Structure 1
Amino acid sequence: MGTTIQTILDDFAFLDEWEERYRYVIELGEALPEFPDSDRTAANKVQGCVSQVWLTTSYGAGPDPIITFQGDSDAHIVRGLVAIMLALFSGKTAGDILKTDAEATLKTLGLDEHLSSQRANGLRAMVKRILRDAEAARQTA
């Protein structure tokens, strides 16, 4: 398991300058596991992102399955944002994912006011896709 969302929140609180925070976000992206070229497909592409973003979803068993996400982007800062979203959502049950308030986390990190509107919209598109996958997992379980 990679960096937890709590670690990211703690590290962000420690970093005062936004330049340092951006560097940290890029480092989070660099630490993402290798994303297989075979998963860089149209089906895995997150629609609504200006940068290219791919997201794969793996489901556990049971009525409230644990869902694991893997993602990547062709842009450094966006790759870091993918890492934050994976820390927030991946490895949780579908029910917990649906209860997670991504907007509140982004506000706590201050990302909502420091991202361009295009990046913020892309991030929302990624969250929407994650929530849709979690809802689908509960429907099929």
Structure 2
Amino acid sequence: MTAGEQRGRRRDLDVLGVIALGGGIGSIARYGLAKGIPTPAGGFPWATFLTNVVGCAVLGGLMYLVLDIWPPSRYRRPFFGVGVCGGFTTFSTAMLESRGLLASGHGATAGAYLLASVVSGLAAVWAGAGAVQLVAKGRKP
């Protein structure tokens, strides 16, 4: 590894730190929501579904702010986008829950869950970005 590569890696440790901090915050929020909305065996996993839809909406709005409104920042996007939203959302858990529903004979619930998760997640990103865009345009002179 060259000296320049070593400096580059050390320089990125601060970004990794803000991602880790944001990820911890997002993960704790997700854990709290999961504990607050338990899923019965074979039931629709509402906690994970709501977590992912809310996270997608927040990410859509956040990315509009980060890319189009706020001035450039080294830490904002990694902290909020990768860290907080990445730690909060959990599409991997949605896939595991879908597999569990299929394995336990709840194929219809698994299918509805998968379809609703993808469609609602995409719609939430669009709606979150649109809502923030409307608010931002309403505040401009």
- Give the TM-score normalised by the residue count of structure 1: 0.33
TM-score by length of 2: 0.33
- Between structure 1 and structure 2, the one with the greater Rg is 2
Higher helix share: 2
